[in-house]
Structure 1
Amino acid sequence: MIEVAAAIIENDKGQILIAKRKEGKSLAGLWEFPGGKIEKGETPQACIVRELLEEMNITVTPGELFGVNEFVDKTVQIRLIAHKATYIGGQIRLVDHDEFFWAQRDELGQFVFAPADVKFVEMLRHGA
């Protein structure tokens, strides 16, 4: 099973940061909460800090656990571990994504998310 960490980053306007997976990548064109694969010996929180700096050029501070979702299909098994995170600084510069968007919770349903992220979309849309 692949373990992946994701950040649920909410700004002071109540908007959540989402990113669209780059063409040529697996699940290209689908939206996700930013993060990445957890490396051996790494905590989900450390992964979030590293991945957001590498992939988006931003600094965040991970907070409380938001949720865990295990997704299995024919080719992959993913355990997605999401933590709330606070945006600290940096100008977003995309490396592994084509777009980013700060979405209101009620706008999240307008985007097509990667399957493992859908549970967190529903949680956010229903007040979590």
Structure 2
Amino acid sequence: MLAVAAAIIENEVGQILIAKRKKGKSQEGLWEFPGGKIEHNESVEDCIKRELQEEMNIQIQPYESYGEHDHYYGSTHIRLYAHKAKFVSGEIMLVDHDEYMWVYPTELGEYEFAPADIKFVKMLIGYSAESMD
């Protein structure tokens, strides 16, 4: 099993950062919540802070677990740990992605996400719709 962390990063107006996988990468052209592989003895929080610094040149502050999801890409089993985080600082520079967007939770359904991320997309859309009642 491959342990992977994803950051659901919010900005000051409630938008969430999503990124499109770079051509040539696995899941190329699909959107995801940025993150990466959890290294040995690394926490989910430390992983997403490191990955976002390395891959996007930004600082974030994780504050809450958003759950985990097991997904199989063929014979590859990944466990994706999602964590909510606040955007702290930095200007986004892309390394592993072709594009990024800040979107409101209600807009997430307009993007084609990597299969492992879809559970969290649905949770965010559902949460957003309930909070608007």
Q: Helix, strand or coil: the match of 2:127?
A: coil
**What is the deviation of 1:73?**
3.5
**What is the deviation of 1:21?**
0.3
Residue identity matched to 1:41: N
Aligned to 1:48: 48
Aligned to 2:19: 19
Instruction: Name which of structure 1's ranges 13-22 and 66-75 shifts more when overlaid on structure 2.
Output: 66-75
TM-score (norm 1): 0.97
TM-score (norm 2): 0.93
User: How many residues are aligned here?
Assistant: 128
Q: Indicate whether 1:125 and 2:98 are aligned.
A: no
Aligned to 1:111: 111
Provide Cα deviations, 1:28-68, integer angstroms capped at 9, x if missing partner: 00000010000111111100010000000000111110110
Give identity over the alignment, percent. 59
**What is the deviation of 1:23?**
0.2
**Which contiguous aligned blocks of 4+ residues in structure 1 show a shift greater than 6 angstroms?**
none
Q: Indicate whether 1:100 and 2:100 are aligned.
A: yes
Cα distance in 1 for residues equivalent to 2:50 and 2:74: 29
Q: Any gaps of 5 or more consecutive residues in structure 1?
A: none
Q: Any gaps of 5 or more consecutive residues in structure 2?
A: 129-133
Cα distance in 2 for residues equivalent to 1:75 and 1:57: 32
Cα distance in 2 for residues equivalent to 1:61 and 1:2: 24
Cα distance in 1 for residues equivalent to 2:93 and 2:64: 26
Aligned to 2:75: 75
Provide Cα deviations, 1:48-104, integer angstroms capped at 9, x if missing partner: 010000000000111110110110242311100011111110000000000000011
Q: Indicate whether 1:38 and 2:25 are aligned.
A: no
Q: Helix, strand or coil: the match of 2:8?
A: strand
Cα distance in 1 for residues equivalent to 2:112 and 2:25: 16
